Amino acid sequence: MSRHAGSIALLMATLALIGCSNTGVFVTVSAITIVAATPPSTGTLTTDANNIETWTPDTAAAGPQTLQLSAEISPANASTKTVTWSSSDSNAPQLISVDSSGLVTVAAGFTGNGGNYLITASATDYSGTKGTFEVSVAGN
């Protein structure tokens, strides 16, 4: 037995604890692109010249409006492919909310000033990588 066998075993155990794959390489997320997974329940979905989507809900709609988003993770071999979702809406109560699956909901009966709100998907691998999606709500 090599005099370094104990050190190698400790190193391998440490790598396993910090999340390295069986190849010994932990691949972090480098980009997140957020796209509409399904058409919105109401309103319009537009795409600009840079392929960035924006949803403009119909503020005259009677009930809450929804849009399911999905996060596309790059690179494809990223070790962790999960995200947490959040909304930039700090109003109380919230006009724009997003759940843990990326379902965005615009509250029914909105009568505020409107504005642009960002939905953010943040990588859970501690890379700090984020993607954003804009929801533009017209004021009443």
- What SS3 string covers the chain? CCCCHHHHHHHHHHHHHCCCCCCCCCCCCCEEEEEECCCCCCCEEEECCCCCEEEECCCCCCCCEEEEEEEEEECCCCCCCCEEEEECCCCCCCCEEECCCCEEEECCCCCCCCEEEEEEEEECCCCCCEEEEEEEECCC
Question: What topology is assigned to 28-137 in CATH?
Answer: Immunoglobulin-like (2.60.40)
- Over the stretch 40-88, which tens digit does the pLDDT of each residue have? 888 888 887 777 788 888 867 767 888 999 999 999 899 888 999 999 9
pTM: 0.74
| Separation CA 122–CA 59 (nearest Å) | 28
Domain definitions of the chain by residue range: 28-137
- Over the stretch 84-113, which tens digit does the pLDDT of each residue have? 999 998 876 778 899 999 999 988 766 666
Task: Give, in order, the Cα–Cα distances in Å from 45 to each of 36, 48, 67, 128, 129.
Answer: 8, 10, 10, 28, 25
